[in-house]
Structure 1
């Protein structure tokens, strides 16, 4: 589906079209948003506007030259936006393609994003704030980074809560380990997304196609991204610390268990020795003829068990 945003009589109107060939080439188009485009739509837009729209494979390439490039007419950007489809536990990065040519913004995406819904409402409500495609992409990045900041704040709260659970509540188990892994993965995805947007914005600040006002706005967004990257790194260090504490707690619990078994084993050695001696099948063992031999030996075994435990207790080994 294609959403067209057309400047008309000082306003911006939205037109949703099913057939790409029904685009009015005479209209003053501000933005063409391609959501789940098929090959026919991609081919038509590429041919009509002389664009080199990257394929799905090209969109996922990570080298810098594949994330941003421009020629005399067009700026092309592939950048990550975080998404969590179907309320999954873990976020992942979805590549969005932005193309700017003749002051028209083209966006190619294969997922729904609230950012695009919100920016569309802003364009319709305040058309004077969006003179060209560069104004649009600047506001999209600004809004997306705000969303990333909110997301990072929520993840940071979960990180601090997890640390309290491990350090103070001594909670261990598969649930804590799973939560730790999820938070680590979310931080990695968020950091990758921020790095990618920082690369795109840095390149946009160098282009001579954007005006100074747009560059000023993008400069502010870039500062916000740098702050978020630092905050993300701090949180990742905290998660590494939690992982170390978690492993240490497990080692301590394991050592306690091993210690208990060791103490029990040592405490049982004297009575075992007594039982072994009197269990030998010698013919002449005078103690066996005593009337009270059995209770005496049994008492000796009990005492020989208790004495080591008392000794271990005084040594604070228990």
Structure 2
């Protein structure tokens, strides 16, 4: 599917002619394009659209380069759909002939939010460079929202970890907490990866290498670019803080599990120690010797029971006094 938008006083307007209006387009959004659609865009702009395999390359030279007067920039973009696992995949931004072309094979929510917002109010989308900056601002804003939401979840998770250590806490809660920590680390790692690639992309825009790259970003708003780069760095630091917090939560959860296991082992040890003296007494009077005076006493049996009870109560009382139970 390909969306074609033209500029109107800083706003975006969907081109009624679709692919027939490529000449007047300021933004061409290629979402999982078909082969015919891709060839039509390539013919209109006289450039080669990178394939899905090309976009997966991790070398910087394969992600940030200029070719035939066009600037190709690839970044990892997060797509977090409610109720599903977050997905991260590459998106290529192409600045060519004063227009922006985006190539993607997944559906980040920031793209839809940007399109709706830019069609309602002016966002400086008068050129490909301005549209790219506005789109980047929306993507960074979306990542900031995700980080804020995760921060609140991590605070609640910390509380749940230490509540699980209380005597009334359920042991089954710890297994759920470990799963939540794993999901939080996975999402935070994807956010960090996305921010690092976006920062590299913005850094390349601020200091392009080569005459073709400089020409492609000529006229870009340096002030907006500088602010955007600063915001990305700040979000990267926030993601780093949350990563350390997740590691703390993992250590704390494993510590609580170890404490619970130690408590269980302690209870078994105490029970074994409490019943050891009565077992010894019962073993003594269970021996088949002829000369055992207590066996002839009328009160021998009650005395043996009393000794067993007393020998069990005394260790229990000592453990309680030392608060080991």
TM value normalised by structure 1:
0.90
Q: Which structure carries more relative contact order (alpha carbon 8 Å, separation 6+)? A: 2
Runs (4+) off by over 6 Å = 8-11
In structure 1, what is the equivalent of residue 143 of structure 2? 148
Counterpart selection for 1:28 from 15, 24, 27:
24
Q: CA deviation at 1:285?
A: 2.5
Structure 2: segments with no counterpart, 5+ residues:
209-213
Q: CA deviation at 1:94?
A: 2.4
> Distance between the aligned counterparts of 2:123 and 2:322, measured in 1?
81
- Give 3-state SS (helix, strand or coil) of 2:25's partner: strand
> Distance between the aligned counterparts of 2:199 and 2:242, measured in 1?
19
In structure 2, what is the equivalent of residue 181 of structure 1? 182
1:86-165 alignment to 2 at 5 Å? Answer: 87-88=83-84, 90-126=85-121, 129-165=124-160
Q: CA deviation at 1:135?
A: 0.6
Counterparts in 2 of 1:17 and 1:265: CA distance versus 1, 3 Å:
farther
Q: CA deviation at 1:168?
A: 4.7
- Give 3-state SS (helix, strand or coil) of 2:28's partner: strand
Counterpart selection for 2:227 from 203, 217, 220:
220
- Give 3-state SS (helix, strand or coil) of 2:221's partner: helix
| Counterpart contact for 1:68–1:203, Cα < 8 Å | yes
> Distance between the aligned counterparts of 1:9 and 1:160, measured in 2?
44
> Distance between the aligned counterparts of 1:10 and 1:248, measured in 2?
56
Aligned length: 313
Counterparts in 2 of 1:56 and 1:16: CA distance versus 1, 3 Å:
farther
Q: CA deviation at 1:142?
A: 0.6
> Distance between the aligned counterparts of 2:227 and 2:126, measured in 1?
20
Q: CA deviation at 1:220?
A: 0.7
| Counterpart contact for 1:2–1:16, Cα < 8 Å | no
Deviates more, 1:206-215 or 1:261-270: 206-215
> Distance between the aligned counterparts of 1:258 and 1:144, measured in 2?
52
Counterparts in 2 of 1:302 and 1:24: CA distance versus 1, 3 Å:
closer
Deviates more, 1:103-112 or 1:196-205: 103-112
TM value normalised by structure 2:
0.88
In structure 2, what is the equivalent of residue 230 of structure 1? 237
In structure 2, what is the equivalent of residue 75 of structure 1? 71
1:1-318 alignment to 2 at 5 Å? Answer: 1-7=1-7, 13-15=13-15, 23-24=20-21, 27-85=23-81, 87-88=83-84, 90-126=85-121, 129-168=124-163, 170=165, 172-207=173-208, 208=214, 209-211=216-218, 213-318=220-325
